[in-house]
Chains A and B, each alone.
Chain A
């Protein structure tokens, strides 16, 4: 039985965190939990600690990629075989944990991505988001020769070797398409798994409105960079 760590990056998520953590425990009692508090000001870390969940707290905000990487460092250090990234805001339904873990545990891939866009999902994204998704999955397809429909999904499982590689070079500011491209370029196999996603219950998304125009542009450039970057 492989040891699984569910990494929950959280920035000001004190409100939705208890429910998310309880759901994970209910859906998958055998996995361990870790909350990475990314410089919150609303007592996110205390909420998690009160529930008996280990917490790593950044004194300053690094962004979701930085929080994820901290989780990877912990997972590798503590000897976990698989790391799962799961949002604190309740978007990711822990009932799909098993579905995301299965292909990784069976060795069918190194990174499995919970996808809203491959069949079975009831999720329908706003037009702008769909346009972005077409562009980025097109780019990923060009770079990798593989179709990844939901490049921005933050509901993923990673094997230990992936987490080890992510200790070093890691596109921390761009944990979506650029990360996928960087990982695939290192020879890791990606696989999409259909999941249903929910509306977030409380708190604020990492992707706020102000960033919604500039971010895709930055992300596009970062994706191209990940494509041409040399790995040492």
Chain B
């Protein structure tokens, strides 16, 4: 049924990771937005790991020469790269928001001080 021990390990690992993702969501440590991506990725890898005919079909379809296990890793790597890029965009956005909030805070603080001491500074 399984082509190699690697395939089994990857498949079981993907299942374990998927369960961990669900647990993180349950404990509200991971927002739904990201959990969807992770669940999708882990189930794809688990599916490829457990369903050998599908794995062989995909491998021949993509013409991967390194063997069936390479297919699983290729999917994993592709997902990891996309996720990193996605996270970079999220960080950029967070940095921009942080930046704007810091500036707004400085301006408001100034207004507050000026309101408290109307005779000074201005």
Chain A contact residues, CB within 8 Å of chain B: 36, 49, 52-60, 62, 66, 69-70, 73-74, 77, 172
Interface members, chain B 93-122 (any A CB < 8 Å) = 99, 102-103, 105-107, 109-110, 114, 120-122
- Chain B contact residues: helix, strand, loop or mixed: helix
CB<8 Å pairs between A and B, sample of 10: A52-B121, A54-B121, A56-B107, A58-B105, A59-B102, A60-B102, A69-B103, A73-B107, A74-B110, A77-B107
Known A-B contacts A59-B102, A62-B99, A66-B102; A54 and B107 likewise in contact (beta carbons under 8 Å): no
Per the CB 8 Å criterion, the residue count for chain B at the interface is 12
- Nearest neighbor of A70 in chain B, beta-carbon distance: B103
Nearest-Cβ distance from residue B28 to partner chain A, whole angstroms: 27
- How many pairs, one residue from A and one from B, have CB atoms within 8 Å of each other in the complex? 41
B residues in contact with A57, CB < 8 Å: 106, 109-110
Nearest-Cβ distance from residue B82 to partner chain A, whole angstroms: 21
B residues in contact with A70, CB < 8 Å: 103, 106-107
A residues in contact with B105, CB < 8 Å: 58-59
A53-B121, A59-B102 are known contacts; what are 6 more A-B pairs with Cβ within 8 Å?
A55-B110, A57-B106, A59-B106, A66-B99, A70-B103, A73-B107
Interface members, chain B 54-113 (any A CB < 8 Å) = 99, 102-103, 105-107, 109-110
- Nearest neighbor of A63 in chain B, beta-carbon distance: B99
A residues in contact with B120, CB < 8 Å: 52
Nearest-Cβ distance from residue A131 to partner chain B, whole angstroms: 30
State whether B99 touches A54 (Cβ < 8 A). no
A59 to B122, alpha carbons, bound, how many Å? Answer: 22
Nearest-Cβ distance from residue A102 to partner chain B, whole angstroms: 28
